[in-house]
Amino acid sequence: MTEPTTPNSPHIIRVGQVYEPCQPTFVVDGMETYTWIRVLSKPIGTPGLYGFGKVQVATITPEGREVRPRRLAVSELHASGTTKHGERRRTGYRLISDPLEGEGR
């Protein structure tokens, strides 16, 4: 069985994947700081259902706790931090860790 994907998100989204924003969350003393999010559920791929095209995620604290659970559009989750034209992404989240495939890109 294949897992749901969208044209804006050609990679497979799995439970346990970790993403970071394509832009820094904030800057402290000149250093870029990123927050991570973890995928908590499979994407909802059935039209008409509440949350269609979304996935449940949570922010990961430095201690590894999951806080601030929420739904996020699957189109915001990308396999890499670059576009198909090789430019750096300005929005969304890039994959940094996939438990089934080792580290992300």
Residue 4: its pLDDT value, please? 43
pLDDT, mean of residues 79-104 = 85
Residue 69 has pLDDT above 50, yes or no: yes
Per-residue pLDDT band for 58 (boundaries 50, 70, 90) equals very high
Judging by DSSP bridges, how do beta strands 93-98 and 31-33 pair with one another?
A: unpaired
Residue 39 has pLDDT above 90, yes or no: yes
Give how far Cα 40 sits from Cα of 11, 26, 58, 72, 83, Å. 17, 24, 7, 11, 25
Q: Which residues of 24-61 are buried (b: 16+ CB within 10 A; e: fewer)?
A: eeeeeeeeeeebbbbbeeebbeeeeeeeebbbbbbebe
Query: What is the average pLDDT score of the chain?
Result: 83
Query: Which among 54, 57, 55, 105 has a CA at the least distance from the CA of 81?
Result: 105
- pTM summary value: 0.78
Residue 36 has pLDDT above 90, yes or no: yes
